[in-house]
Amino acid sequence: MKVIKSISILQNTIKKYKREGKIIGFVPTMGALHDGHLSLIKRSLKKTDITVVSIFVNPTQFGPNEDFNRYPRPIKKDMGLLKKLNTDILFLPNNEIMYKDPLTTVSVKNITNILCGKYRPGHFDGVCLVVNKLFNIIMPDYAFFGEKDFQQLIVIKKMVFDLNMSVKVIGCPIIREKDGLAMSSRNMYLNKEERKSASQINKILKYGKSEIEKGKSISLIKNSMKKQLKKLKYRKLEYLEILDEKTLSKINNKSKKARIFVAIYIGKTRLIDNMGVKII
């Protein structure tokens, strides 16, 4: 595995591969890798000739009171996992290399004002800026994103569409722990009791899904789910929404698929999860 920290070296390396006709796959991450990340990397390794993984805890997507400083950075362990998978390139830039007083912003409107965007102002601008930069540096044919961050996936797809970027964005399913908790680098913040509470989120989502698929009233289901979430220990519910999966707007007669979205604090740890639902 090549470990590259410099943008120009990475660009030259990619250009060489492109001249050889190689298909480039890209998986952006913030590290503290788990099986969720690894599933995206495996998908890229299967589909493309050269897989680039980036590890960069992107400061511009964190709010001033968020966990940028304490975000886990187990870089040696991550490198071991990436090597084991036979990842071709790890791109490991630092802040100074990535950001030299940029005056440019990348902003996707409307769909970033809801769900996480409503509670994390500026978050998606930070995500779009860094992903845009990474796409320009790596010029991938395919980029792999997890449905764990479903809103992010939709926002990136819209950015790529609006800006006519030539990368194909592939959404990959959520990987869960045995008890259903969606894998996340932030799960390691949870103590034993909090971890137990966190495992209930998935069960409540599953309940919501089965009730919606029985054709019951969305607003009644939402109320019942909220009640169940509020019973969890250490909770502060940020949002629970059931929206059209394609448009992220309210479900209407034309909606074919919905998605239940939840963001909840278990103790000090903010967890997000979501689940797709058929509409009958």
Q: Do 138 and 12 meet the contact criterion of CB atoms below 8 Å apart?
A: no
Helix axes 218-231, 192-213, angle to 10 degrees: 170
- The answer to whether 37 and 140 are in contact (CB under 8 A) is no
- Smallest Cα–Cα separation from 62: which of 206, 270, 278? 270
Do residues 5 and 93 touch, judged by C-beta distance below 8 A? Answer: yes
Q: Which residue is nearest to ligand AMP (CB)?
A: 146
**CB nearer to ligand AMP: pick between 175 and 251:** 175
Dihedral angle computed from the Cα positions of residues 163, 255, 175 and 23, in that order, rounded to the nearest 10 degrees: -30
Which residue's CB is nearer to ligand AMP, number 9 or number 188?
Answer: 188
In angstroms, what is the minimal distance from the CB of 125 to ligand AMP? 16
CA dihedral (143, 147, 148, 151) positive or negative: positive
Minimum CB–partner distance for residue 36 and ligand AMP (Å): 2
Q: Which residue, 274, 148, 254, 266, is CA-closest to 209?
A: 274
Residues of this chain that bind ligand AMP (CB under 6 A): 29-30, 36-37, 39-40, 145-146, 148-149, 172, 174-175, 182-185
CB of 171 to ligand AMP, least distance (A): 9
Least Å distance between CB 176 and ligand AMP?
A: 7
CA 171 vs CA 153, 185, 222: distances in Å: 7, 19, 26
Show Cβ contacts of residue 86 under 8 Å, excluding neighbours closer than 6 positions.
1, 45
Of 26 and 211, which CB lies nearer to ligand AMP in the complex structure? 26
- Closest distance between ligand AMP and the C-beta of residue 149, in Å? 4
Residue 218 or 243 having the CB closest to ligand AMP: 243
DSSP string covering 13-37: HHHHHHHTTPPEEEEEE-SS--HHH
Give the position of tokens 């194909």: 168
* Nearest residue (CB) to ligand AMP, 52 versus 172: 172
Active-site residues: which are they?
Answer: 37
* Exposure on the CB side of residue 203, measured as CA atoms within 13 A: 10
Name which of 99 and 224 has its Cβ closer to ligand AMP: 99
CB of 148 to ligand AMP, least distance (A): 4
Question: Tokens representing 111?
Answer: 């769909």
